Chain A
Amino acid sequence: MPASVRTTGTVVTGIGVVAPTGLGVEAHWQAVLAGKSGISRISRFDPSPYPVKLAGQVPGFVAKEHVPGRLIPQTDHWTHLGLAAAQAALDDARVVPAELPEYEMAVVTAGSSGGTEFGQHEMERLYQNGPSWVGAYQSIAWFYAATTGQVSIRHGMRGSCGVVCNEQAGGIDAVGQARRLLRSDASLVVSGGTDASLCPYGLVAQLATGRLSSSEDPDRAYLPFDVDAAGYLPGEGGAILIMERAEAARGRGVGGGYGSILGYAAGFDPPPDSTRPPVLRRTIERAIADAGLTPADVDVVFADAAGDREADLAEAAAITAVFGAKAVPVTAPKTLTGRLYGGGGSLDVATALLALREGVIPFTAGPSRLAPGIDIDLVLGQPRSTPLRAALVLARGYGGFNAALVLGRGMDD
């Protein structure tokens, strides 16, 4: 690709948050700084027959306040959250899509479950009443690309569109793909993602990994890196990001936005019985090299924080191998929301951009005593104020996906 395009960079000019920590960027950021948890007993259905009873749920979300009336019965809850976040992100970026060239606007979201709640409802109609009771909208509502498609249609964005389906890594990979599109013919990309799979069918599918926490104590259920780590909690929601070429953003008068995408890398782990090491370390190194930085330039790491003893050890080992023991602050605000799958990486990107802007590292609520062998500087107890220039965001998707993103602080230009 031409060097002149590459050096102009990619910036995030708008953020829309729909998460257990709140609706909107400000509500989310204040909850994160205060360590205010969005974890509670599942209320979208009765969780009593299931081994997992806690989750991060988006508080006070009423679809008809955010989603066009026509789209509500046609789309799943996860798409409702995505449409709401996309609108908020566009407003935040002061973008009026109708004023921009339709083929230069692209949409790439992450989604790992599709419309499970919608699909469950239709399956109930199938086995209770018969095939003719299955609604026509099942054909589009369950589909992983539904959120991307509905955002594209609603806002008249006819550029390259796609969906990334690789569990928690998706929220980072969608940003990576958006950057790729901005280096070719897109001038604006709606990126990020949401997921919402808090229905019996969706929860049972998640249980298959054996990695969820069955604790019923909201304060102790999801403790990544802690000696008592016993799995993670699921959550719903995420963040949608508006990404643009830096010069285009400057041209629109929105400056450097929240910050820039400096580097990105993805990797895939060897099979479990392989003697080769996991790829996270190399993925981190490649992302930092892609940013043209060295590890010493990274001021904070937003961890994947699986909450699983072995996965936590592996992540800590990768961080320590790249940066040195306790050499960089590490945090995981996702203990306040649970793991949001396709929405998780992008919410971490949003949080990291806010941290860079404010010069504050949010703390990790929950863990108190690091497990033996975990030699990282996990930010605990309270936010840490410190000048920040670059942040590294990590995400691992179940099945072997690894993704790393390096973000730079926005410049006031």
Chain B
Amino acid sequence: MSRFTLEELREIMRSSAGVDEGVDLDSDIGDLEFDELGYDSLAVLEFASIVQRRYGVPIPDDIVTESGTPAKAVHFINTQIEKAGV
């Protein structure tokens, strides 16, 4: 069962890093790279820090950059949540 959703990722991105003009976060963004969505390393760092606080699971700084896309980030975060058994 997926605990962390793409919808939640959208909400965090919107409130923490804002949205670039010309980007529709509500569209099918799962496989687009964070770069293409206008998010730099600082945006990704902020995102990781919020997820870490909300779920109490470790999200290494480089994870989302390595994950590259929202879909991969959602998958990684859910794996972490399952591992932590929370």
Contact = CB atoms under 8 A, between A and B. Distances in A.
Contacts of B38: 70
Contacts of B2: none
Interface in B22-51: 38, 42-43, 45-46, 49
Interface in B9-24: 15-21
Which of the four size classes fits the interface of chain B?
A: 10 to 19
A70 B43 CA distance: 10
Interface of B: 15-21, 38, 42-43, 45-46, 49, 52-53
B49 A70 contact: no
A135 B46 contact: yes
A72 B42 contact: no
A73 B18 CA distance: 6
A127 to B, nearest CB: 16
B53 A70 contact: no
A77 to B, nearest CB: 15
Nearest to A136: B46
Which of the four size classes fits the interface of chain A?
A: 10 to 19
**SS class of chain A's interface: helix, strand, loop or mixed?**
loop
B53 A133 contact: yes
Contacts of B52: 132
Contacts of B53: 132-133
A68 interface: yes
Contacts, number: 38
**SS class of chain B's interface: helix, strand, loop or mixed?**
helix
B63 to A, nearest CB: 15
Contacts of A137: 42, 46
A136 B47 CA distance: 9
A140 B20 CA distance: 18
Contacts of A136: 42-43, 45-46, 49
Contacts of B46: 135-137
B20 A68 contact: yes
B42 A70 contact: no
Contacts of B18: 68-74
B73 to A, nearest CB: 16
A139 interface: yes
A136 B17 CA distance: 10
Interface in A134-172: 135-137, 139-140
Contacts of A140: 42
A115 B49 CA distance: 22
Contacts of A74: 17-18, 42
B21 A68 contact: yes
User: Which 5 A-B residue pairs are closest in the complex by CB-CB distance?
Assistant: A136-B46, A70-B18, A136-B45, A69-B18, A69-B19
Contacts of B45: 136
B21 to A, nearest CB: 6
A181 B46 CA distance: 36
Contacts of B49: 132, 135-136
Contact of B17 (A70, A132, A133, A139): A70
A135 B21 contact: no
A140 B52 CA distance: 21
